Structure 1
Amino acid sequence: MKIEFTIPGPPQGKARPRVVRMKNGASVSYTPDKTVQYEELVRLRFMSAATGQRFPDDTALRMTIISGFPIAKSKSKKLQAAMLSGAIRPTKKPDSDNIVKIICDALNGFAYKDDAQVAEIVLSKKYVAGVGETFVRIEYAR
């Protein structure tokens, strides 16, 4: 089984939990709204592509993620061409590990029981025309 889907918009990474001190001195941590919303978008795109399928609980999985970053309009035509050809690759945030983390965490309980099942991850960052997108493929590990 193989499930592929695309998440529209620029790639996002998992943000750190925020901690707030209450008036009584207690600390409360919460996940930032932007992270919660992106995780929900990942789940919606997965569920649309999976049509009710889910990977069995005892299987090792391979995840391929291709993060397409938008090119700033202020870049020269020559630089844009180099970025689109892959001669220049994104080295900016979000970090690769945070991109993987937000997608894996969002799919816990939906694509698989736990992201510990993901035994192999391939991530690529590149520039794309438009607003950006992230492609995700989940399949059995070989």
Structure 2
Amino acid sequence: MKLKFSVLGEPAGKGRPRFRNAGAFVQTYTPEKTVSYENLVRLEYRRQCNDFKFPKDTPLDVRITAYYGIPKSVSKKKAQLMRERKIRPMKKPDFDNISKIVCDSLNDIAYHDDAQIVDAQVRKFFSDDPRVVVTIQEAE
């Protein structure tokens, strides 16, 4: 079984947990941008993949392709090179934070736990249509 879905908009990465003093205690919380993007990933997965959930004992292969928007400030020549994948984005969010936010979002939705992921790849490109494309399949 192979599932593929897209999340429209600029790629986002997993934010670091934040801490605040609450009297005698320190309270930990997740940044709002992270929570919002995780909810968007879940929503798009459910909408596009019909709530399919891989069995608990299935090793998985996850492929994530992040397409960043082409900045308006670049020349036409440079923008064309970006479209042709000759210039790749070396900017934040980092590939590991993209992977973390997507894989954590799908815990208990697409699979039981992201420990099932035994093979993964994250690729970054520029595009006129910023988005993240996720493919999940059984590992070979």
Q: Is the 8 A contact 1:13 1:101 kept in 2?
A: yes
- SS of 2:15's partner is coil
Task: Summarize the alignment of residues 28-47 of structure 1 with structure 2, pairs less than 5 Å apart.
Answer: 28-47=27-46
Tell me the residue number matched to 1:99: 98
- SS of 1:66's partner is strand
RMSD (CA atoms):
0.7
Q: TM-score, normalised by structure 2?
A: 0.98
Q: TM-score, normalised by structure 1?
A: 0.96
**In structure 1, C-alpha distance between the alignment counterparts of 2:52 and 2:73, rounded to whole Å:** 43
**In structure 1, C-alpha distance between the alignment counterparts of 2:94 and 2:49, rounded to whole Å:** 27
Runs of 4+ in 1 over 4 A off after TM superposition: none
Tell me the residue number matched to 1:83: 82
Shift of residue 51, structure 1, vs aligned partner: 1.1
Kindly indicate whether residue 122 of structure 2 is the aligned counterpart of residue 141 of structure 1: no
Deviation per residue, 1:82-140 (Å, 9 max, x gap): 1111111000000000000000000000000000001100111000013x100000000
Shift of residue 49, structure 1, vs aligned partner: 1.7
Q: Is the 8 A contact 2:2 2:137 kept in 1?
A: yes
Shift of residue 52, structure 1, vs aligned partner: 2.8
Q: Is the 8 A contact 1:83 1:89 kept in 2?
A: yes
Range that drifts further, 46-55 or 105-114: 46-55
**In structure 1, C-alpha distance between the alignment counterparts of 2:112 and 2:17, rounded to whole Å:** 23
Match of 1:75, as an amino acid? Answer: V
Match of 2:15, as an amino acid? Answer: A
Q: Give unpaired runs (5+ residues) of structure 1.
A: none
Q: Give unpaired runs (5+ residues) of structure 2.
A: none
